[in-house]
Structure 1
Amino acid sequence: MFNNYYFLRQLSQALKERLVGMTLGACFSQSKDELMIGFYKGAREQWIRASLIPNFNLLTFPLDYQRKKVNSIDLFKEAIDQEVLDIIQYKNERAFLIQMTDDWGLLFKMYGNRSNILLTQGEEVYAIFQKRHIDDQNMDISSLDREIDQSKGAFYEGGIKATFPTLGREANAYLENQGFDKCSPDEQWTRLSNLVKQLESPNYYVEELDEQVQFLLFQLEGANTLLESDDPIDAANEFYYRFSKRYFVEREKGPLIKEIDKRLKQSKSYLKKHYARYEELTENARFEEIANIIMANLHAIPPRSKKVTLFDFYNEEDIKIKLNELHTPQKNAETYYRKAKNQKLEVKNLEANIQQKETEMEELKKHREALDQFEMVREIRKYIKTNGLQKLQKNEPVFPFRKFEYKGFEIWVGKNAVNNDLLTQRFAHKRDLWLHARDVAGSHVVVKWKSKQPNFPVDVIEKAASIAAYYSQRKTDTLCPVIYTPKKFVRKRKGDPAGLVVVDKEKVVLIEPAPFSETLT
């Protein structure tokens, strides 16, 4: 209720007792949402700090204030050295005016997110603090006073909103929680009248309820009272201290914690998927055993068989084995041996990825727990800098491609057709090496160019080619042709579907498909 009309009318009266006869000595801003206003009389000072941050618009009153030497700008210079004559509270309006000599004035318009401080001369607005509220430049100051019929008859006829629009959200909620809507009109008027009397001569409470700090002109049932005062200025200062401590801390670490929680959720999903695949591979890792069974029974397999039943000496029972009728039994055994080799490589790759993701999760959990403990902004900022969490703080997206490193060269791999286009068209440099399995669907692969090593070593090309073959429809082939060329010779025609490109001046390498087991990302 720090911007409530009933509080502001008490606050403006308290300021009147302090400010009348004092002189405006300073008016400056050191951030776009805060204005410092200083008055003096002899050695005595009185400061007003107008914090006009979105969702947090509040006036507080430091005993003294040391101005910074940098990033500070003087404002409302025309009114400097003017003496305060009076403070005018506008009727039924969340605004008051500090009236000074030579017809200058400081108008405090405390309208929630539309709050502003205006420099006035007479009935005209001379300058405004918050430039984003441009309409304030044309405000009709003479219309700020509002006469409202708040009689019993007017209440019966128009209801509470029309008769007492200045009550505010908290006071209305207070009445509602007391069963106001269920009462008779006479009882409603009695309760409303009692509350208004309390608001017109209140005590001020800083209350804590459900871990939220609130400023009120009445006590809440079940709340923890942090301060009870009859001085609106002391109460406003205490609330600012309590609330800003939480507000600025949460503003500093809240988005970071939210991003960490998001990535932890994504990691859990990633691990669930990869654990399932790992179990599937390890539970059905029989390719090598099947190959051994075929080799032990070459003489018993008829030519051109599509399926054969053989004795499984591992489990001591018959087993049905699928075969390629175009291949010899020995060639079929070789196929199963190759599948076993690829399966082992995939299992090794999964184990490395799972281990890396689990390590990442442990790091994120450690940061999450540490951030929860901090209660000072500078501690949070120091921790973020020390632990390199700036990217998380900026909510930067996870790297969109698979990324590997081999002998100092980064190898980026697309994940699907749309992702391939993103990699080739937006992320690849013209000097990067571009690779793709020939004549089949598969991932685009890019080896990042290095200025100090402009030529790509043969073993690096072969390593990237084996990855391109693995992430293609030929991943189970013994050998796969892979094309490669500088990215500048890869182009996309208008209207082509996602992932489809035209390649010029390509070379071809014949390579065995193989996954990369040591991922970076």
Structure 2
Amino acid sequence: MHLSYYFLKKLVPRLAERLTGTRLSAAFSQDKDEIILEFGSEGAIKLTIRAILKTEFTCLFFPDRFERARANSIDLFKDLHGQKVDRLFVYENERAFAVEFGGGDKLVFKLFGNRSNLLHFAPGGSLKNIFNRRLLGDLTLEEASLHKPALHTFDRFVSLDGDYRKMFPTFGKLAYQYLAGLLPVQSSPEEKWIAVQKVLSELDSDRYYLSEAEGRLVLSLLPAGDIRQTYTDPIQAVNAFCLSYFRTGNLQHEKDQAVKRLLKRVQQTESYLDSAYGKLAEISDAGKNEQYANLIMANLHQAEPRAEFLEVISFYTGEPVKIKLKADLSAARNAENYFRKAKNEKQELTRLQENIEAREAALDQMKIWLSEIEKLSAVKELRAFLKQHGLSGQEGGPVSGKAGKFREETFLGYRIFIGKNAKNNDELTLKFAGKEDLWLHAKDVSGSHVIIRHIPGRNFPAVVIERAAELAAWHSKRRNDSLCPVIVTPRKFVRKGKGMPAGAVSVEKESVVMVVPRE
């Protein structure tokens, strides 16, 4: 509730006491998801606001001091520098407030969770500038739309069938749960209204609770969850909340993210196993190629020239069998083809069985990890566990900032990068990849370069190579083939000759795997 309308109604008046009459002396950022605002008078800083606007965590923090970095920081909202603060106000029934300056400009704090932003509105209400320009919807936001007047009367409550969620959308999840706990299963509109008034009274009190609810650290205006500390000052309360989050992180949030990543791997592995078992059944059913080859060789004398079939009695079953032949080939050459198919099937069968065993073992291990993650009770333990088992998605040491230029997938702890076009392929292979990384490419056709990032002290598992090969096949001209040959080699064996076009390379040493193209 540290971003709720009801908390802002308490916080903003306290900020107004300290900011009214001061001037905005600095507004700068040294992190793409944070902005620092310093307000002062007579050369002294009176209040610093550190607005943290990350997707996973949004908070306003008020440090006693903040040391600006000498490099990698940028001034923002320059038109407001030096302007005097006239007043602060909260938008009605909304998670937003404004710092209004003497000239009529407003700096609006829009605290909408993972869509939070700071916006500068000129006098008259036109949008002049915003902090996070990635939030495209904010580019057309009208200041007037932030005011949401509402009629909170018992008659309107009854007209909404006593649905307090419709009447009080600003309550939020925690308040709804707290309210539900005050009511019997079957409640009359009058009973609900009395409970709503009690909650409103609690929300209007000057008590702030740092609690743990459903495994998450929360700042609440309601005595809910496992209360750790109680405060009477909103600035002190939100600072304590932010500091606790900085020190320990949000255990449940990080667990949820880890479980989400792991469940995705489980789903990928189960999908692969379903496909692999189907392929295994196909190969087993088609295992008659060696028998056909032997039957043809034993009955060469019966094969007519340019015949399309050979009908013989099988010495395997004692039953008649009709063997399809290629009419333009001799019987011996047809037998040779069946022998070759049988050999390929045996190799494919062996590879499939090995991969199925490896994936089944990996699946069992992932299910164990899911169970163990739920038992962890500290962020430090969770992060150590994820790092130990290659589950954090950051294995393999530092990765260049260029990583975001490529498609990326993490599979069983290994990072797989995929080029987007010819020039991007060159950058991935020649500039980004390390010599110990593994390089893959669909054989004899154009397609994306694929890199598996090497993890020191580990060999590349066959299942990881296969997954990367599937991606290389999918991102190539062989995408629609039933089976695709993919080149696999350490990056150090890949060269780019003088005059070669973008994306073209030569490979000094290679092995080839056969895979089904999969996204």
Correspondence for 2:436: none
Distance (Å, rounded) in 2 between the aligned partners of 1:126 and 1:277: 63
Where does residue 188 of structure 1 map in the other structure? 192
Give the match for residue 377 of structure 2: none
Aligned to 2:202: 198
Q: Deviation digits for residues 447-481 of structure 1, max 9, x if unmatched? A: 99997699xxxxxxxxxxxxxxxxxxxxxxxxxxx
Tell me: higher relative CO, structure 1 or 2? Use CA pairs within 8 A at least 6 residues apart: 1
> What secondary structure sits across from 1:263 in the alignment?
helix
Equivalent position amino acid for 1:200 in 2: D
The AA in structure 2 aligned to 1:197 is S
Query: Equivalent residue for 2:311?
Result: 306
- Is 2:77 aligned against 1:73? no
Match of 1:519 in 2: 513
The aligned length equals 413
**Counterpart for residue 238 of structure 2:** 236
Give 1:97-176 correspondences, 5 Å limit.
97-101=98-102, 105-111=106-112, 115-119=116-120, 124=125, 127-130=128-131, 131=133, 132=136, 133-136=138-141, 138-140=142-144, 144=147, 146=149, 150-152=152-154, 155-156=157-158, 160=164, 164=168, 166-176=170-180
Q: What residue is the counterpart of 2:270 in the other structure? A: 265
CA deviation string 1:352-401 (max 9, x = no partner) = 3554676688789999969977639x9757525569997315986899xx
Q: State the alpha-carbon separation in 2 of the partners of residues 92 and 334 from structure 1.
A: 83
Q: What is the CA distance between 1:135 and its match in structure 2? A: 3.3
Question: Structure 1 vs Structure 2: percent identity of aligned residues?
Answer: 22
Structure 1: distance between partners of 2:313 and 2:156? 96
What CA deviation, in whole Å up to 9, does each residue of 1:382-423 have, x standing for no partner?
A: 525569997315986899xxxxxxxx9973489xxxxxxx99
Shift, 1:196, TM fit: 0.6
Amino acid at match of 1:107: V
2: distance between equivalents of 1:309 and 1:165? 77
> C-alpha deviations, 1:251-296, integer Å up to 9, x for none?
987886565445323432343234334544679965577579769x
- Deviations along 1:464-512, one digit per CA (max 9) or x if unpaired, are xxxxxxxxxxxxxxxxxxxxxxxxxxxxxxxxxxxxxxxxxxxxxxxxx
How far apart are the structure 2 equivalents of 1:260 and 1:279? 28
Q: Partner amino acid for 1:3? A: L
In 2, the alpha carbon distance for the partners of 1:305 and 1:105 equals: 89
CA distance in 2, matches of 1:274, 1:325: 23
Gaps of 5+ in 2: 303-308, 374-380, 421-439, 447-471, 489-493, 500-509
Distance 2:144 2:72 in 1: 33
Q: Cα deviation per residue 1:95-144 (whole Å; 9 max; x = unaligned)?
A: 333345555553334355664434456665573324531334x5349x94
Does the 8 A contact of 2:29 with 2:73 survive in 1?
Answer: yes
Instruction: Flag the 1:365–1:65 CA change in 2: closer, same or farther, 3 A.
Output: farther
| Stretch moving more, 94-103 or 445-454 | 445-454
> How far did residue 200 of structure 1 move?
0.2
Q: Secondary structure at the match of 1:59?
A: strand
Is the Cα–Cα contact under 8 Å of residues 267 and 361 in structure 1 kept in the other structure?
Answer: no
Q: Report which of the two structures shows the higher radius of gyration computed on alpha carbons.
A: 1
The correspondence of residues 219-368 of structure 1 with structure 2, limited to 5 A, is: 219-220=223-224, 223-225=225-227, 227-240=229-242, 245-246=249-250, 257=262, 260-277=265-282, 279-280=284-285, 286=291, 306-308=311-313, 319-322=318-321, 339-340=338-339, 342-352=341-351, 354-355=353-354
Q: Does 1:11 align with 2:43?
A: no
Of 367-376 and 193-202, more deviation after overlay is shown by 367-376
Question: Would you say the 8 A contact 2:442–2:485 is kept in 1?
Answer: no
Give the equivalent residue in structure 1 for 2:450: none
> CA, structure 1 residues 226+271, in 2 after alignment: closer, same or farther (shift >3 Å)?
farther
Aligned pairs for 1:385-404 within 5 A: 385=397, 391-393=408-410
1:335 and 1:189, CA in 2 relative to 1: closer, same or farther beyond 3 A? closer
Which residue pairs with 1:88 in the alignment? Answer: 89
Task: Say whether the 8 Å CA contact 2:208–2:231 is kept in structure 1.
Answer: yes
Q: Secondary structure at the match of 1:67?
A: coil
TM-score normalized by the length of structure 1: 0.58
Query: Is 2:289–2:338's contact at 8 Å kept on the other side of the alignment?
Result: no
- Write the mapping of 1:20-99 to structure 2, written as runs, cut at 5 A: 20=20, 22-40=22-40, 46-53=47-54, 57-84=58-85, 86-99=87-100
Unmatched runs of 5 consecutive residues or more in structure 1: 299-303, 313-317, 400-407, 415-421, 429-440, 455-515
2:383 is matched with 375
2:443 is matched with: 411
